Amino acid sequence: MNGYKYVKRILAILFLVILAVGFLRKSTVTEIKAVSKYLSAATLKKSSQTIDALETGYSSDFPYQRSLIDLNGVSARLLRLRSLYKTAGVNITRDYRIVTQYDETSTDYEVEQVLKLKKFLDKNDIRFLYVNKPTKYLNDSFFYAEFGEQSYTNRNTDKLVSRLREKDVPVIDLRENIQEEGLDIKDLFYRTDHHWTTPAALWATGIIADGLNKYCGYGIDPSLYDESNYDFKTWKECWLGEQGRKVGETYVGLDDFTKITPKFSTDYTFKSKDGNVEGTFADFIKEDTFDLEKDVYENRSWHYSYDQRNCINNNADYGKVLLLGDSFDQTTEPFLSLGVHEIDSIILRSRGKSFNLKKYIKKHHYDTVIVCYAQLMIGAHDDPDSANYKMYSFIKDKK
């Protein structure tokens, strides 16, 4: 830990020197005043706080922010500081991909809540499917080999999946499909972001559709998700992921992005509080995201160019699905909507304390509920400060 702080302070001093040189070259009173609060406390202790500020992300009020982030990236890469930002969920592999370390958990809370949800759904003749979405490595030994520290994400998931299957919960574990098809996990995720790519989401949605057929009585045509039915447009080195912004483009580079749209005609009714709106699949996509002129630190994440929208597919005649998901489903929900008549989605962490999932399900008369979670959600309930603390809180206990 002392060595970690020492390196941070060295980098901080370097940043302050660069700032000072920049100010002298500019020679304006305005610029000196704008950063005086940072330079006036250029001690070792205060300098390390400068690095701490960078760890929290891209700060809009930080002077020379782009230059500092990029300088930080150059310095960290040259010094091979691959776990300097691990407290922010960023560990950088030898091939410059960002991965995250996860603590061990019992899975007791997750299992209890899934079983309570399934019991409620069974009682109301509503079908249920659990889907596990992988993280960026399929074996925890990978993390130890890279960084010499333990990560438990796959072992946690093994426990959860095994325990659910023992209770006859229908589970799709996409890690198994990846291994069966001989896919490379590196190809399914962005290097600078924790989300999966759009081609990976399309692939996974086809498997989820098969699960709806197998476990929930649906009759979705599997060929609907054949890649030949879609147009692919790819931009090279065009955007920087959420995690990449913490360490800089100069350390991890930029990611590619592929926009995928169906070749066949689509007809949607999008639901909103302001009334229904007619549209097509194209209305899931925010085209203004694909702006190569915008600063990669300021433009929205390209992963969020796809939107989760509650909708009715007027070209499908069966199915009303509630998708309990996460931000991975920015792409999953649009693709899954192509195979069902109606789909809504909820991210539980964004719902208030008064939200009652049982009442919501009954009110909207769903025939199927899918819990579709990235496995990084497992164990979040162990930490009340986690943004994902409520993700498995399906059924509230009566007081």
Least confident interval from 64-68, 90-94, 320-324: 64-68
* Inside any domain, residue 142: yes
**Percent over 90 (pLDDT), the chain:** 76
Please say which residue of 81, 97, 123 terminates a domain.
Answer: 81
Longest dimension (CA), the chain: 73
Please say which residue of 62, 81, 100 terminates a domain.
Answer: 81
**Co-location of 65 and 129 in the same domain:** no
**Co-location of 66 and 134 in the same domain:** no
* Inside any domain, residue 96: no
* Inside any domain, residue 327: yes
**Co-location of 65 and 136 in the same domain:** no
Cα(271)–Cα(309) distance, integer angstroms? 7
Residue for token pair 């796959």: 154
Torsion-angle region of residue 269: left (phi > 0), alpha (psi -120 to 50) or beta? beta
Please tell me the predicted confidence (pLDDT) of residue 70: 83
Mean pLDDT of 215-229: 97
**Co-location of 266 and 178 in the same domain:** yes
Dump the DSSP string for 117-182.
HHHHHHHTT-EEEEEEEP-S-S-HHHHHHHHSS---HHHHHHHHHHHHHHTT--EEEHHHHHHHTT
Strand partners, 133: 374
**Co-location of 74 and 6 in the same domain:** yes
**Co-location of 377 and 276 in the same domain:** yes
**Co-location of 77 and 119 in the same domain:** no
Mean pLDDT of 294-321: 97
Other C-beta atoms closer than 10 Å to the C-beta of 135 total 24
* Inside any domain, residue 223: yes
Which domain, by its residues, includes 13?
Answer: 2-81
SS3 371: strand
**Co-location of 187 and 293 in the same domain:** yes
Contact 190, 303 (CB under 8 A): yes
> Which among 271, 192, 205, 202 is positioned nearest to 238, based on CA atoms?
192
**Co-location of 148 and 65 in the same domain:** no
Counted domains in the chain: 2
**Co-location of 116 and 246 in the same domain:** yes
* Inside any domain, residue 37: yes
* pTM (2 d.p.): 0.85
